[in-house]
Structure 1
Amino acid sequence: MSDSVQHTEDELVLRSTEAKLRHFLNSIGFAHDQLPEHTKRRLEIISSCAVALGLDSASPEALCTGITDLRCQGWDAHVAKAKLKQAQHHLQTRNGAMQEQLAALQVLRARLEAQQPSMAESRRDLQAHVSVLRMKHQQYRQQTEAAEEQLQAAGFRLELRHGTMQQQQEHLQSMQTALNTTRDRLKPFEHLPPDLQASKKLSLLAAGQFSIESATAASCKHVTGNRHAPGLKRNKPYSDQDRRDMTA
C-alpha cells in the first residue's frame, strides 16, 4: 500500500516538473517537440534527478540544495558505516576472546571428566575412613563409660577437669624451681669441712623440705576420693642414712 502511494506521488512530481518545463519553454518561444533529442534527454534527466531528490521543482537552486543534502546524507552514511565497521571489529575481537575462553573451559571440562573416576574412588575411600573413625569413636566412648562405671563401683570419682595437666606441669615446675634454689644455696658450702658442710646442708634442706613435699603432693594427686594418695607424707623422722643420702 505504501509503495503504491509513493509511486503515485513520484509521478505527480514528475508531471508537475514537466509542466513547469513546458511552461518555461513556451515562454521563451520553444515548444517541447521542437527541441533537439539531446536537449530533451537532458531535460528528462534533470526531471528524474529532481524526482529522485524529492524536489518540487527542477530549478538550479533546488537541484543544488538537493545535491548538497544528498552529499550530507552520504557523509552521514559514511560515518555510520565507519562506526558499524568499528563495532564489527570490536565484536570480532570479543568473539575471538570468548572463543579462547570457551576452548579453555572445554579443556578444563575434559580434565574434570577424566578425573571423575579417581575423585569418586577418593570420595568412597574418605567415606569408608570416616565410617571407621566413627566406629572407633563409639568404641572408645563405650570403653570410657565402662571404665568410669568401674571406677565409681570401686569407690572412686574420676574428675576430668580442664587444665589438670597444666596444673600438674606448674606444680612440677615449682618443685624443680625449689630444687634448683636449694642446690644454688648449697654451692657456697662445697669447700667447707665435711662436718660443717653436712650441718649447713641439713639446715637448708629442712627449710626447703616443706615446699618440695607440697609440690610433690599436688603433682601426684590424679584421682580424688575419700582418701589421700599414699606416699605424700612422711610420718617418721629422717634417719642418719637418709641425711647422708640427701647430702651426697
Structure 2
Amino acid sequence: MRKWMFGLVCGFILTLLTAAVPSSTIQGTLFPSMVTIHNGKDVEAIDVSGDNGVINYKNKAYIPLRLFSEKMGASVGYEPGSEATNWAHKIDIYQGKPVIEWRLKRVGELVANCAPGVPFFISPGGAYENDQAFYAQIHNNMKEDISVSPIELTFQVRVKDGHEVVYSHKLPPFSGVIPSSFAYIASFTWDHTGMDGKEVPPGDYFIELVRPSTVNYQVLDNNEQKTVKIEREGGCNLGYYGVTFK
C-alpha cells in the first residue's frame, strides 16, 4: 500500500513539474507550396523544396528568411546571441544593400606605431574565426593634413591555399581631407555567403582589401600634387590576413 501511494505521489509531482516548465521547441508540419514573386513585370518562382521548405505552425506559414529576402532584393545580416543582446540572436534585414559610410577616427599610438615610418597605409581588419564584422581603414601617418584623390577599394575573400575568390564587394570610393594621425574607417558585414549564393564551407581563407599601389594627394594649403606608395611594410599595412571559418 505504501509503495503504491509513494508511486502515485511521485507521478503527481512529475506531472506538475512537467506542466510548469515551458518547452523551447515547437512542432510544425511541412507545407508543400508553389511560391512566385511578382515584381512589376518580373515574375520569379522560388524553389521551396528540400532544406528550403515552408513550415505550417498554428495555421501560419513560416518561410526561409534569407532565401525570400534576397529574392526580393534585400539582404540579411545575422549575429549570434551575446551578452550585449541578452543572448537574443540579432537579425538585420536591409532593403537593398546596406549603406557603408566612411567615418573619421583618431588612431591611437598602438596602431600608429605598428607601421613605423610608413606615411600612409590602407588595410583591412575585423573577423576572426566565425565573426561577421569587417572594416577597412585609410590612415594618414604623416605630420601634415592632406587631401587625397579618389581611392577605389574592393573587399575580397579568397581560399587561403589558392587564388579562388569566393566573395567580392566594391566599397564606396573615398576622397577628401584626412588630418594627421587620423583615419577614415568603413565598417560592414559579410554573412559568409559566397558569390554562388551558398554559405562558404568551413576552412582557411584570406580576407583581402584590393587596393591601389599609389595614392595621389596634396598637403593642405599647398597645390603641389604628390604621390605616396602603399607599401607592404609594417604590421598595420598588410593588404590581407588569414582567418578560419568553422
The TM tier, using the shorter chain, reads under 0.3
Q: TM-score, normalised by structure 2?
A: 0.20
Q: Which fold has the larger relative contact order, with Cα–Cα distance below 8 Å and residues 6 or more apart in sequence?
A: 2
Q: TM-score, normalised by structure 1?
A: 0.20
Higher helix residue share: 1
Larger Rg: 1
